[in-house]
Amino acid sequence: MKNLLIITQKVDKNDQLLGFFIDWIAGFAQKFEKVTILCLEKGEFDLPKNVSVISLGKDRNLSKLFWFFNFYKYLFRYRKQYDAVFIHMNPIWVVLGSRYWHMTNKKVCLWYAHKSVTFKLRLAEKFSDIIFTSTLDGFRLDSKKVKVVGQGINTDLFKPDKSVSPAPETLINVGRIAPIKNYEPLIEAIKIIKDGGINVNLTIVGEPTLNVDFKYQEKLVKMVKDIGIEERIKFVGKITNNDLPNYYRKNKIYINLSRTGSLDKTILEAMASGCVVLSSNDSAKKFLPPRLVIRSENPNDLAEQIKEATRWDVGDELRDYVVSNHSLPELIKSMSESIKTP
Q: In angstroms, rounded to a whole number, what is the distance separating the alpha carbons of residues 221 and 213?
A: 12
* Reported pTM: 0.93
Instruction: Tell me: do 264 and 148 sit in the same domain.
Output: no
Q: Are residues 196 and 284 in the same domain?
A: yes
**Is residue 184 domain-shared with residue 139, that is, in the same domain?**
no
Judgement on whether residues 140 and 241 belong to the same structural domain of the protein? no
For residues 282 and 314, state if they share a domain: yes
β-bridge partners, 39: 8, 55
Residue 160 lies in a domain: no
Which has the closest alpha carbon to 20: 152, 108, 142, 132?
Answer: 152
The pLDDT of residue 201 is 97
Residue 178 CB partners (closer than 8 Å, separation 6+): 208, 209, 210, 212, 213, 216
Q: How many domains is the chain built from?
A: 2
- Residues 132 and 8 placed together within one structural domain of the fold: yes
Q: Where are the alpha helices (DSSP H) in the chain?
A: 21-31, 64-77, 92-103, 119-127, 184-195, 211-226, 244-249, 265-272, 299-309, 317-325, 328-340
DSSP string, 66-85: HHHHHHHHHHHHTGGG-SEE
- Give me the domain span that covers residue 60: 3-152+328-340
Per-residue model confidence (pLDDT) at position 162 = 87
Domain annotation covers residue 158: no
Do 11 and 103 lie in one domain? The reply is: yes
pLDDT at residue number 30: 97
Between CA 322 and CA 98 the distance in angstroms is 34
Q: Quick one: pLDDT at residue 66?
A: 96
In-domain check, residue 164: no
pLDDT of residue 198: 94
**β-pair partners for 153:** 327
Q: What is the 3-state secondary structure (H, E, C) of 163-177?
A: CCCCCCCEEEEECCC
Q: pLDDT 10s digit of each residue in the chain, 342 long?
A: 799 999 999 999 999 889 999 999 999 999 999 999 999 999 999 999 999 999 999 999 999 999 999 999 999 999 999 999 999 999 999 999 999 999 999 999 999 998 889 999 999 999 999 999 999 889 999 999 999 999 999 999 999 998 998 999 999 999 999 999 999 999 999 999 999 999 999 999 999 999 999 999 999 999 999 999 999 999 999 999 999 999 999 999 999 998 776 789 999 999 999 999 999 988 899 999 999 999 999 999 999 999 999 999 887 999 999 999 999 999 999 999 999 998
| Distance, CA of 197 to CA of 171 (rounded, Å) | 16
Q: What's the CATH code of the domain at 309? A: 3.40.50.2000
pLDDT at 315: 79
301 and 274, same domain (yes or no): yes
Please indicate, yes or no, whether residues 146 and 176 belong to a single structural domain of this protein. no
Question: Does any domain span residue 130?
Answer: yes
For 24, how many CA atoms within 13 A lie in the half-sphere containing its CB?
25
